[in-house]
């Protein structure tokens, strides 16, 4: 039986704005689920509905076999860690960590044991008699996590816990979270807009956009087999290069270049002959041998690889990631090609005109498989 | 009363390391409240013989005691033993004050009809000079009592913690071991129940 089961969850705010549409997810015991997506995609709203901080408009939430849809947060046996730590400034770290148990009127020796055990895990033992303002951001976030650990909840919820930290500390905390998950073996739901966090931490990623779940899968599945154009461009840094074109007699014809499809690709796109499709290629799957001309606009050496920015066909921006150290100058023209095994094809996205007459995407282009 | 096992005593003292010395600090703050009640009454008279330099001195002493009581309460909260002395000094000041204004006022009032009787309104009540002086003495006594209790309790806790810390440093006490032992004891007790 899954630890958490979310069925057909909808969130409609009082003004009629729908933030989450038909969210479905089963989370297994001990699984680390990351909800990722751009700002306003509904990921935090979903997490807050699981936490009980937002009412569930429609749908069902089951935690460990118990229907928690209408239960108040305190009865759901969950613990949430917030972006802004939410620590009590006048209390010591020990008291902050012990607070929830003190409220429950637990025996003080048991509280002590639990706090000390959590402090040991999080390496906070030497900080326990300090006040939150005496700690760094990373330590404060560890305290917030410790406060969740002492409760020994069924599910841990994290709402962008690392967003307030600088890049270096974020990396360190990310590793600590991974270790913590291994140590505790707890079920965790984690919200972030940072795809690096999602890819490194998750057992499974739930990628959201416009209130809809776009794809659920293991990080490698989302990276290697994106379900649609949104996932393709959202997951991966730099994002995937996308070229619109048409399938014509075994060729992909775009306004920038013509590419001869191999036998496998031609078979895959057989039913799309004469139709518009999108070709996607990740920057690292672009090779320096081929027939497509790229006019260099920027050369960024990153040490372990080089990001080469350029234009194809004079207008289309393309980013390439070469493993070698390159020294191209602005205006240089090179020939590039694509790794045929790593090319992605998508249907065209479905668009609609909004009230202002602007075209908006209502459905992302699905992957052709 | 339930007697604590040695392990439980260790755990209880260990908890003190991470929590402020709250009870003595609260007692010090309570003495501050009594002090406030005292001066609300002291300056509540409408007419009095002692509208002279004593009032000025009393205001200054009140301000000083309020400030130092607060500082001492914060100090004792952090297990700083030195503040016990401050608290005792403050208690002595409060006791001494009983013999300055309240008792002098009472003596003066009772000296004869030629002396002007005190006229005081306190929380909506008209007080006789005897009641006025008695209440002043009560507030000061309570304030002093709280300060003494705070100092004594604070001293006991500070000493206990000091000894505990030095025992940890010298390796006489093993906290982790005690915690494990305590866990086993709790589990055994639960099973028995």
Tell me if B18 and A113 make a contact (CB, 8 A cut-off). Answer: no
Cross-strand partners of B125: B122
Please tell me the predicted confidence (pLDDT) of residue B57.
Answer: 83
Q: What CATH architecture is A233-363?
A: Beta Barrel (2.40)
CA gap A115, B14 in Å, rounded: 12
Backbone angles phi, psi at A258, to 5 degrees: -120, 135
CA gap A96, A87 in Å, rounded: 7
pLDDT at residue B109 above 80?
Answer: no
pLDDT at residue B2 above 80?
Answer: no
Whether the CB of B12 is below 8 Å from some CB of chain A: the reply is: yes
Tell me if B19 and A116 make a contact (CB, 8 A cut-off). Answer: no
pLDDT at residue A123 above 70?
Answer: yes
Whether the CB of A124 is below 8 Å from some CB of chain B: the reply is: no
Tell me if B179 and A129 make a contact (CB, 8 A cut-off). Answer: no
pLDDT at residue B190 above 80?
Answer: no
Q: Which residues contact B110 (CB under 8 A, 6 or more apart)?
A: none
Please tell me the predicted confidence (pLDDT) of residue B58.
Answer: 83
The residues spanned by each domain of chain B are 18-152
Please write the tens of the pLDDT for every residue from A187-208.
999 999 999 999 999 999 999 9
Tell me if A92 and B11 make a contact (CB, 8 A cut-off). Answer: no
Please tell me the predicted confidence (pLDDT) of residue A116.
Answer: 92
Interface of B with A in 14-43 (CB under 8 A): 14-15, 17-20
The residues spanned by each domain of chain A are 4-232, 233-363
pLDDT band at B50 (very low <50, low <70, confident <90, very high): low
Please write the tens of the pLDDT for every residue from A228-285.
999 999 999 999 999 999 999 999 999 999 999 999 999 999 999 999 999 999 999 9
Tell me if B17 and A128 make a contact (CB, 8 A cut-off). Answer: yes
pLDDT at residue B129 above 90?
Answer: no
Between B155 and B110, name the one with better pLDDT.
Answer: B155
Considering only the beta carbons, identify the residue of B18, B179, B186 that sits closest to A94.
B18
Whether the CB of A90 is below 8 Å from some CB of chain B: the reply is: no
Mean pLDDT score of chain A, rounded to an integer? 93
Element (H, E) at A229: helix A229-234
Exposed e or buried b for every residue in B144-173, given b needs 16+ CB within 10 A? bbbbbbbbebbbebbeebeebeeebeeeeb
Chain A CB contacts of B186 under 8 Å are 107, 109-110
Strand pairing category for A286-301 and A306-312: antiparallel
Considering only the beta carbons, identify the residue of B11, B19, B186 that sits closest to A95.
B19
pLDDT at residue B1 above 70?
Answer: no
CB-count burial class (<10 Å; 0-12, 13-18, 19+) for A126: exposed
Tell me if A113 and B183 make a contact (CB, 8 A cut-off). Answer: yes
Q: Do A219 and A199 form a contact (C-beta atoms < 8 A)?
A: yes
Q: What is the mean pLDDT of residues B135-161?
A: 95
Shortest CA gap B62–chain A (Å): 28
DSSP state of A365: P
- Most confident range (mean pLDDT) of A267-276, A348-357, B3-12 is A267-276
Please write the tens of the pLDDT for every residue from A10-33.
999 998 999 999 999 999 999 999
SS3 for chain B, per residue?
A: CCCCCHHHHHHHHHHHCCCCCHHHHHHHHHHHHHHHHHHHHHCCEEECCCCCHHHHHHHHHHHHHHHHHHHHHHHHHCCCCHHHHHHHHHHHHHHHHHCCHHHHHHHHHHCCCCCCCCEEEECCEEECHHHHHHHHHHHHHHHHHHHHHHHHHHHHHHHHHHHHHHHHHCCCCCHHHHHHHHHHHHHHHHHHC
Please write the tens of the pLDDT for every residue from A329-350.
999 999 999 999 999 999 999 9
**Which of these CATH numbers, 3.90.1170.50, 3.40.50.970, 3.40.50.300, 3.40.50.620, describes A4-232?**
3.40.50.300
Backbone angles phi, psi at B168, to 5 degrees: -65, -45
Tell me whether the omega of the peptide bond preceding residue A107 falls within 30 degrees of 0, making it cis: no
**Of A83, A150, A75, A156, the residue nearest A112 (C-alpha):** A150
Q: Do A34 and A83 form a contact (C-beta atoms < 8 A)?
A: no
Mean pLDDT score of chain B, rounded to an integer? 84
Please write the tens of the pLDDT for every residue from A201-237.
999 999 999 999 999 999 999 999 999 999 999 999 9
């Amino acid at each position: 039986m899954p630890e958490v089961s979310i069925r057909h969850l909808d969130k409609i705010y009082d003004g009629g704005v729908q933030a989450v549409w038909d969210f479905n997810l089963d989370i297994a015991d001990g699984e680390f689920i990351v909800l990722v997506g751009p700002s306003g995609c509904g990921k935090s709203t979903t997490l807050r509905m699981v936490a009980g901080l937002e009412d569930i408009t429609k749908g069902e939430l089951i935690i460990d076999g118990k229907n928690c849809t209408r239960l108040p947060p305190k009865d759901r046996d969950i613990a949430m860690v917030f972006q802004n730590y939410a620590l009590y400034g006048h209390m010591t770290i020990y008291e902050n960590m012990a607070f929830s148990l003190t409220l429950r009127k637990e025996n003080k020796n048991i509280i002590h044991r639990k706090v000390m055990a959590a402090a040991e895990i999080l390496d906070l033992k030497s900080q326990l008699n300090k006040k939150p303002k005496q700690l760094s951001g990373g330590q404060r976030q560890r305290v917030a996590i410790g406060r969740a650990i002492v409760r020994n909840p069924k599910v841990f919820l994290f709402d962008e816990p690392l967003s307030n930290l600088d890049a270096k500390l974020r990396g360190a905390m990310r590793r600590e979270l991974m270790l913590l998950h291994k140590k505790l073996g707890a079920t965790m739901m984690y919200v972030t807009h940072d795809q690096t966090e999602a890819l490194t931490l998750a057992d499974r990623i739930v990628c959201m956009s416009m209130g809809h779940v776009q794809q659920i899968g293991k990080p490698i599945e989302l990276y290697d087999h994106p379900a649609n154009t949104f996932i393709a461009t959202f997951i991966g840094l730099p994002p995937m290069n996308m070229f619109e074109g048409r399938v014509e007699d075994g060729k992909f014809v775009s306004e920038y270049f013509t590419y001869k499809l191999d036998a496998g690709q031609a078979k895959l796109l057989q039913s799309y002959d004469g139709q518009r499709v999108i070709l996607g290629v990740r920057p690292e799957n672009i090779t320096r041998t081929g027939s497509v001309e790229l006019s260099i606009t920027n050369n960024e050496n990153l040490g372990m690889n080089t990001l080469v920015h350029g234009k194809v066909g004079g207008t289309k921006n393309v980013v390439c990631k070469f493993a070698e150290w390159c020294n191209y100058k602005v205006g240089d023209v090179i020939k590039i090609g694509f790794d045929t095994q790593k090319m992605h094809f998508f249907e065209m996205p479905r668009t609609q005109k909004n009230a202002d007459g602007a075209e908006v995407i209502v459905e992302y282009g699905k992957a052709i498989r | 009363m339930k007697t604590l096992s040695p392990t439980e005593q260790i755990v209880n003292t260990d908890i003190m390391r991470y929590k402020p010395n709250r009870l003595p600090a609260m007692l010090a703050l309570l003495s501050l409240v009594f002090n406030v009640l005292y001066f609300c009454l002291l300056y509540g008279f409408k007419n009095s013989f002692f509208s002279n330099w004593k009032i000025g001195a009393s205001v200054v002493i009140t301000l000083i005691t309020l400030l130092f009581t607060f500082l001492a309460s914060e100090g004792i909260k952090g297990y700083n033993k030195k503040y016990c002395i401050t608290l005792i000094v403050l208690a002595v000041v409060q006791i001494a004050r009983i013999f300055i204004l309240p008792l002098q006022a009472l003596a003066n009032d009772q000296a004869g009809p030629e002396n002007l009787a005190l006229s005081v309104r306190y929380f909506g009540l008209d007080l006789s000079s005897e009641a006025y002086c008695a209440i002043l003495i009560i507030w000061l006594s309570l304030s002093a009592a709280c300060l003494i209790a705070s100092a004594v309790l604070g001293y006991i806790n500070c000493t206990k913690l000091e000894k505990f810390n030095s025992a940890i440093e010298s390796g006489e006490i093993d906290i982790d071991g005690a915690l494990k032992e305590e866990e086993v004891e709790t589990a055994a007790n639960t099973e028995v129940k």
